[in-house]
């Protein structure tokens, strides 16, 4: 994983700004025509996907992120004293495998080195026993110093270093636990943060209050540009600016720490502890994601919970379920697990590929999904206290944070399946529709987890220098909900019409849509066009035609589509990157919805999928096409390379599977 690229036309990137007519055209007739090639590819993909289904009915692909997950897992185990040699050795092997030739680690395949990721990777390897004079360690330390040293890393990295005395707590932003008492109408209350940030911030207020230091097993002077003066002077921004105002708020919070009433602080810590424990899931994790789990375990340990306490024991055991062992000697930590998402997408792909609607695999998947519906209130009910639950979460266990995106896609999957208990399916979909309607934000669109989670204040905190900490509505999520509402015959519902109007207003000047949870404009466009057409927009609508024109312009010379994550920070990368199976699937899904089945662009895309598929039905895809936080945290969903190409192939061959289900009587 040493490849890098220099820009939209740089080495290693097959995408260019050429129009498709200026590119060599693949001739589908070479393999018996596009239809024959699509049939063979779809058949192999169906067989492969069916073989991967769990006996319980679900699918789950690996969820690959970057080595900070592995590094922080080791640092947690060192802090708690629960590490073991096999874990350290296997994690170190994985971390080394992701290092670039220049010594750095990146946050996605082929991406540039990232300073914080590199510091954490280096520290983890040193913790595992790698000698600082080893060539790979020397290269890493040199790269870190050349890019500003530890002092330039993000706050979360320096928190981990402070836990071992490698950084001073006094030089970190202050985060008092009393924030838990702010009412929901006050700016910067915990419900102004997105659910993932909220779950992380509450335990970190406890850590910040204690400022613990575990004796460090070694020093890190080699990662500082000037070990004698590791902290560069940062001048205050003008008071009239937001940055200046929040810098002064942070200074005031540091002063408050010295005078905070002890009884109030003790009460805040106690209530923070209760808040954390109440949100622990039945399997021991927190929200089904790894970062809140590690900080919650540290916080509870500081609050006096013994490692043998049931809460702690369950939490530690849950972390082991986030590990993947590619072989007996290598260990990778997943930031999250995606069985509900993977299962509904796999069911849609198989149904659209022509699998009988009552096929045992689909019925088994429906049974499992029906059992995963969340029917109790979670944190979303703070903003919607009267709303009846009915959503689905992303993970195995996450009753506190179902999301509108999974809920929409599960409903779309269930609608494609002929279940032996149709009344049960109708009840589940009815609850899902009502819950999603109730989660619509004031602007007519949907965020993933919360309603109107749009305050700009959390992003300005000095503490929040990494990734998104709010959950505003996005085009991709809104499109999936609109598609679900259309499938339920609600095209003319006022909720749907407001959402359609919002989507039309969000279209970029070039014809694409921004993708919040997938990379990037290809994902947004691949989500929105099918939704708009399902909601009743004619394929001749100007918005649809602009999207088609854009997709044709950004098609790669090889016939596929790809987009690099750098499009999140430089729109010049929009629709530009190495062709991938998942992104080609998104583009084809959009073009097919727009009525372009007979177009040259579609035939070339189908030919690319057919020609790049492995004999076992799989597609290789090292590139990251999923998004946690745009640019800052990227995801390679290992099942995306199967479900989206198969969905596109199926719709090319048979049309939309949902339309077929409706015609034949759902």
Residue reference for tokens 């495998």? 97
Which neighbouring-strand residues pair with 106? 113
Residues in contact with 256: Cβ distance below 8 Å, sequence separation at least 6, in sequence order: 174, 176
Q: What are the phi and psi torsion angles at 364 (to 5°)?
A: -65, -40
Q: With contact defined as beta carbons under 8 Å apart, do 609 and 597 qualify?
A: no
Give the three-class secondary structure for 392.
Answer: strand
Question: HEC states along 598-666?
Answer: CCHHHHHHHHHHHHHCCCCCCCCCCCCCEEEECCCEEEEECCHHHHHHHHHHHHHHHCCHHHHHHHHCC
Q: Determine the Cα–Cα distance for residues 434 and 243; give it in Å rounded to an integer.
A: 41
**Tokens encoding 642:** 């199967």
Half-sphere exposure of 510 (CA within 13 A, CB side): 18
Is 320 assigned a catalytic role?
A: no
**Tokens encoding 540:** 């001749």
- Measured between alpha carbons, how far is residue 603 from residues 24, 31, 133, 461, 653 in Å? 13, 12, 54, 49, 12
Q: With contact defined as beta carbons under 8 Å apart, do 559 and 608 qualify?
A: yes
The residue ranges of DSSP E strands in 253-328, in sequence order, are 323-327
Q: With contact defined as beta carbons under 8 Å apart, do 136 and 99 qualify?
A: yes
Residue tagged active-site, from 192, 405, 450, 656: 405
Residue reference for tokens 């919070």? 253
Q: Determine the Cα–Cα distance for residues 251 and 245; give it in Å rounded to an integer.
A: 10
Which neighbouring-strand residues pair with 481? none
Q: Determine the Cα–Cα distance for residues 11 and 271; give it in Å rounded to an integer.
A: 54
Q: What sign does the dihedral 71-82-166-252 (CA atoms) show?
A: positive
- Measured between alpha carbons, how far is residue 666 from residues 357, 367, 653 in Å? 9, 17, 21
Question: Kind and range of the H or E element at 131?
Answer: none
Residues in contact with 489: Cβ distance below 8 Å, sequence separation at least 6, in sequence order: none
Question: Angle at which helices 422-438 and 475-487 pack, to 10 degrees?
Answer: 140
Q: With contact defined as beta carbons under 8 Å apart, do 213 and 245 qualify?
A: no
Q: Determine the Cα–Cα distance for residues 120 and 64; give it in Å rounded to an integer.
A: 17
Q: With contact defined as beta carbons under 8 Å apart, do 306 and 315 qualify?
A: no
Q: Determine the Cα–Cα distance for residues 124 and 140; give it in Å rounded to an integer.
A: 12
Q: With contact defined as beta carbons under 8 Å apart, do 157 and 66 qualify?
A: no
Burial 324-338 (b: 16+ CB within 10 A, else e): eeeeeebbbbbbbbb
Q: What sign does the dihedral 161-164-170-173 (CA atoms) show?
A: positive
**Tokens encoding 404:** 């509108």
Q: What sign does the dihedral 162-166-172-174 (CA atoms) show?
A: positive
Q: With contact defined as beta carbons under 8 Å apart, do 565 and 13 qualify?
A: no
Q: What DSSP letter does each residue of 47-95 carry, written as one string? A: HHHHHT--TTS-----EE--THHHHHHHHHHHHHT---HHHHHHHHHHH
Q: Determine the Cα–Cα distance for residues 175 and 206; give it in Å rounded to an integer.
A: 9
Residues carrying an active site annotation: 405
């Amino acid at each position: 994983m040493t490849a890098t690229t220099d820009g939209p036309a740089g080495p290693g990137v097959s995408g260019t700004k050429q129009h498709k007519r200026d590119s060599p055209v693949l001739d589908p007739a070479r393999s018996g025509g596009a239809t024959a090639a699509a049939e063979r590819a779809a058949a192999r993909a169906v067989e492969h996907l069916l073989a991967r289904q769990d006996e319980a009915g679900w699918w789950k692909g690996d969820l690959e992120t970057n080595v900070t997950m592995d590094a922080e897992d080791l640092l947690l185990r060192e802090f708690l004293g629960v590490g073991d040699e096999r874990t350290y050795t296997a994690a170190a092997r994985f971390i080394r495998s992701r290092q670039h030739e220049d010594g750095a680690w990146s946050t996605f395949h082929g991406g540039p080195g990232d300073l914080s990721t590199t510091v954490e990777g280096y520290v983890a390897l040193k913790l595992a026993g790698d000698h600082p004079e080893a060539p790979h360690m020397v290269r890493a330390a040199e790269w870190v110093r050349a890019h500003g040293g530890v002092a330039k890393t993000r706050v979360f990295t320096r928190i981990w270093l402070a836990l071992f005395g490698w950084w001073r707590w006094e030089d970190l932003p202050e985060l008092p636990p009393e924030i838990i008492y702010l009412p929901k109408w006050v700016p910067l209350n915990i419900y102004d943060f997105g659910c993932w940030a909220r779950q992380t911030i509450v335990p970190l207020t406890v850590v910040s209050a204690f400022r613990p230091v575990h004796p460090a097993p070694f020093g890190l002077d080699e990662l500082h540009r000037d070990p004698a003066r590791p902290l560069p002077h940062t001048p205050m921004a003008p008071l009239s600016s937001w940055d200046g105002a929040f810098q002064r708020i942070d200074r005031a919070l540091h002063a408050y720490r010295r005078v905070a009433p002890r009884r109030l602080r003790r009460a805040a810590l106690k209530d923070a502890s209760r808040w954390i424990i109440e949100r622990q899931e039945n399997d021991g994790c927190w929200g089904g994601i790894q970062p809140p789990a590690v900080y919650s375990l540290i916080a509870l340990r500081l609050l006096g919970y013994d490692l043998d306490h049931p809460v702690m024991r369950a939490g530690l055991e849950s972390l082991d379920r986030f590990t993947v062992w590619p072989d007996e000697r290598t260990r990778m930590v997943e930031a999250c697990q995606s069985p509900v998402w993977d299962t509904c997408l796999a069911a849609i792909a198989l149904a659209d590929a022509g699998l009988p609607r009552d096929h045992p695999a689909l019925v088994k998947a429906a049974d499992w999904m029906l059992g995963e519906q969340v029917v109790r209130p979670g944190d979303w009910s703070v903003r919607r206290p009267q709303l009846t639950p009915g959503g689905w979460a992303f993970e195995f266990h996450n009753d506190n944070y179902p999301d509108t995106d999974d809920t929409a896609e599960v409903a779309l999957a269930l609608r494609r399946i002929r279940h032996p208990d149709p009344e049960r399916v109708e009840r589940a979909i009815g609850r899902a529709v009502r819950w999603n309607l109730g989660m619509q934000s004031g602007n007519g669109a949907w965020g993933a987890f919360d309603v109107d989670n749009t305050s700009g204040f959390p992003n300005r905190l000095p503490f929040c220098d990494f990734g998104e900490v709010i959950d505003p509505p996005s085009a991709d999520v809104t499109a999936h909900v609109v598609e679900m509402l259309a499938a339920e015959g609600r095209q003319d519902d006022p909720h749907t019409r407001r959402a359609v109007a919002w989507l039309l207003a969000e279209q970029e000047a070039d014809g694409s849509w921004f993708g919040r949870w997938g990379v990037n404009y290809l994902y947004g466009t691949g989500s929105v066009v099918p939704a708009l057409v399902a909601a009743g927009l004619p394929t001749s609508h100007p918005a649809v035609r602009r999207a088609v024109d854009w997709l044709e312009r950004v098609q790669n010379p090889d016939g596929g589509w790809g987009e690099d994550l750098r499009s999140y920070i430089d729109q010049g990368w929009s629709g530009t990157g190495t062709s991938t199976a998942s992104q080609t699937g998104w583009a084809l899904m959009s073009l097919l919805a727009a009525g372009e089945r007979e177009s040259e662009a579609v035939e070339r895309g189908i030919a690319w999928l057919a020609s790049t598929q492995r004999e076992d039905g799989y597609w290789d895809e090292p590139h990251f096409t999923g998004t946690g936080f745009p640019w800052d945290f990227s995801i390679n969903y290992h099942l995306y390379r199967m479900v989206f190409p198969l969905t596109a192939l199926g719709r090319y061959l048979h049309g939309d599977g949902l339309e077929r289900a409706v015609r034949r009587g759902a």
